[in-house]
């Protein structure tokens, strides 16, 4: 993992800590294991000694209700509009907070090999 990738992963993990992100850890000294992280656990993650990858949901797994909760497509404000996966929407919530709290991979970390796709049902609503 490059220095830039480690930095991106740490920034992403920090934003997700309030939401109980689950990570897969490969430890040099211990077997692989999964762990739910909370605020004080960030010091626990030593990326030089451990390979840590969060479990995230791909954006394509967003349910119709989650799309409805995230956006209001009825508003015609092109300056406020955002495009995600080809869908135009105007958000009426904290976009990044919503995506992080629902464990969506909005930074394409799965594609970059920095995260794992979460099994269905791992994060209960």
**Lateral strand order in the sheet of 116-117:** 33-36, 22-27, 50-56, 116-117
Question: Residue 6: which of 44, 58, 45 has the closest Cα?
Answer: 45
In this structure, the number of other CB atoms found within 10 A of the CB of residue 45 comes to 16
Residue 124 located in a structural domain: no
Structurally, the chain folds into a number of domains equal to 1
Residue 94 located in a structural domain: yes
Range of the domain at 56: 3-117
Residue 92 located in a structural domain: yes
Residue 122 located in a structural domain: no
Whole-prediction pTM value? 0.76
On whether the CB atoms of residues 49 and 27 are closer than 8 A, the answer is yes
Q: pLDDT tens digits for the chain (125 residues)?
A: 788 888 888 888 888 988 989 999 887 777 788 888 876 666 666 655 667 899 999 999 988 888 777 775 555 555 556 666 666 665 556 788 889 999 999 999 999 999 999 998 888 75
């Amino acid at each position: 993992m490059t220095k830039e990738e480690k930095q991106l992963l740490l920034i992403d993990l920090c934003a997700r800590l309030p939401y109980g992100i689950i990570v897969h850890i490969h430890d040099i000294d211990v077997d692989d294991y999964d762990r739910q992280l909370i605020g004080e656990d960030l010091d626990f993650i030593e990326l030089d000694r451990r390979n840590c990858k969060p479990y995230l949901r791909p954006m394509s797994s967003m349910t119709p209700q989650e799309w409805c909760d995230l956006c209001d497509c009825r508003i015609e404000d092109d300056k406020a509009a955002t495009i995600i996966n080809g869908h135009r929407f105007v958000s009426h919530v904290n976009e990044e907070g919503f995506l992080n709290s629902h464990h969506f991979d909005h930074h394409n970390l799965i594609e970059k090999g920095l995260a794992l796709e979460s099994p269905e049902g791992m994060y209960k609503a």
